[in-house]
A and B are shown apart, each in its own frame.
Chain A
Amino acid sequence: MAEQTVSVVFAPVLSSSSKVIEVTNDFVKAIEAGEKLVLKGTATEEAVLCMSNKTFALKRVEQSNAVFLFNAQQDAQRYAMHSEVKDFFEIIPTVGKTKSVESLLLQKALESASYAATVAYLQENVMASDAEIDEALRRCRAVDDDGRLVTISFTQVVETFEVLFPAVLRHDLSLAALSEATLATHLADRTTRAMLHFILREIGASSVGTEDGDVVWTITDEQAALCLAHVAFLRATTLSWEDIQQEIAARHPSATFSAAALSQSLLQGVAVALSSAASATASLQMFRYYPASATPTELSRCMQDLFAMKKEYTAAELDPYLARYLPYGTSEAQRTTKMTELLLQVARRLDSGLYRLVESPTWK
């Protein structure tokens, strides 16, 4: 290649406010594909850089060299340096700080009964990506109801189950094609449409939007049975499997449904079997109500509650409770490893394959 000499000049206006952040090639590709970035920070916390579904901590990097930026593509004969860079950063993938979501919702409610938090308020005050905030809102059952965030208690969820299925029967609706608008009208005295939408989504029902703005839901027989299992425990916190089956059968709207075909595994994450499967006949197996959706926010308290009910558990019994404490963004591939890590913080595996609480658990 022949030698080429170019002149290097300072641009008429030399910026000193440029910030340079070391990123990855995937990061650049995401930006070029249209991903938006938001910088968030407070007086007491270090800044984070958020994409729509990821949060990165920003770490300042010390740099003593003189560094200037220019665009070599603009003029091959003359490099005009338009910025002197003094601020260098690197990004470190991190988990958004969403623990404050629940307390911010409560704080806003306490400040004024007429003013509730909004999603925009949380996006501005929570150091996390929008997707992480949405997940935190889902976990604390907060619903955007006409622009305001309203939290639904787990009791309200179960009470909605209690009236939903009788309404399906009474109005001759079909679980396979439930109009959300129609159902909301029938349940207007117990729940709002936004809350109903949230609850139906949480039970895993599938949905299809219609052109007129309605949503049509499909609830399977098993999903309905799961909801009715929660309703069964409204009358007592401890029930036999036989009682639970009878309660479900009495309320299930599907004519083809058979409670006898239900497996006790339906209750994993709903109630705890108080004796081992080998020691009780199936119908007399007693269950104590402890829904995973309503466990304390700290893993330690949840585990203390569980092991107070019985001394040993299988991994399958504990999994639905541990899943709630997995960090946001845990992939399916990482799930088993992360669950085992959580479990071994508090329990040890016996030769029988069962888990028992350790004497001095290292709560993290």
Chain B
Amino acid sequence: MIVQVGGTNGGLPELCILEFQGELIGEKVGMLGSLTLKAGEKVEMIIGNHFLEGSFQNLKSPLLVLDSNDSTDDIAASTAAPSLSIQGVVRRKIIFKTRPKPAGKRTREQADLL
């Protein structure tokens, strides 16, 4: 089987990754939380009652992101040859490596302000 990967003219969109050690349980809809960008590439995030500390990291090698070009039309989807398109390239990620801590009252209030 052969799958064409749609090219791009010029520069690729720069995407970023948000990475959590572990699993996000729950419906992945709407608001997830608030992210505070601090000095020295550090970040803090509040998700519900959880407080996470993380940082920006530059990736050693870029990541190419591909996604399928699925048609919303059932007939077109069933007859078209499978294809992918290049969505962008990732060179940086935000990673949370430590265990979540309980979010204190002050941090919860900060999240509520958003």
Contacts and interface: CB of A to CB of B under 8 A. Distances in A.
Given A4-B36, A5-B36, A32-B8, A10 B65 contact: no
B77 to A, nearest CB: 13
Given A9-B30, A79-B35, A21 B64 contact: yes
Nearest to B66: A19
B64 A23 contact: yes
A169 B35 CA distance: 83
Contact of A67 (B7, B19, B37): B19
Interface string B1-38: 11111011111111111111111100011111111111
Interface string A1-30: 101111111100011011111111101100
Nearest to B114: A7
Nearest to A4: B37
Interface in B45-62: 45, 61-62
A36 B32 contact: no
B8 A31 contact: yes
A3 B37 contact: yes
Given A17-B67, A24-B61, A39 B5 contact: yes
Main secondary structure of the interface of B (DSSP, over half): strand
Interface residues of A, number: 50
Contacts of B32: 8-10, 81
Interface residues of B, number: 53
A34 interface: yes
B103 interface: no
B99 to A, nearest CB: 14
B64 A65 contact: no
Interface string B76-113: 00000000101111100000000000000000001000
A277 interface: no
Contacts of B62: 22-25, 27-28
A262 interface: no
A22 B68 contact: no
Given A17-B68, A39-B84, 13 more contacts: A5-B37, A8-B31, A8-B33, A21-B64, A23-B63, A31-B86, A37-B5, A38-B4, A65-B21, A66-B22, A68-B17, A73-B13, A79-B16
Interface of A: 1, 3-10, 14-15, 17-25, 27-28, 31-32, 34-42, 49, 65-73, 79, 81, 83-85, 123-124
Interface of B: 1-5, 7-24, 28-39, 45, 61-68, 70, 84, 86-90, 110, 114
5 closest cross-chain pairs (CB), A and B: A37-B5, A39-B3, A66-B20, A5-B36, A68-B18
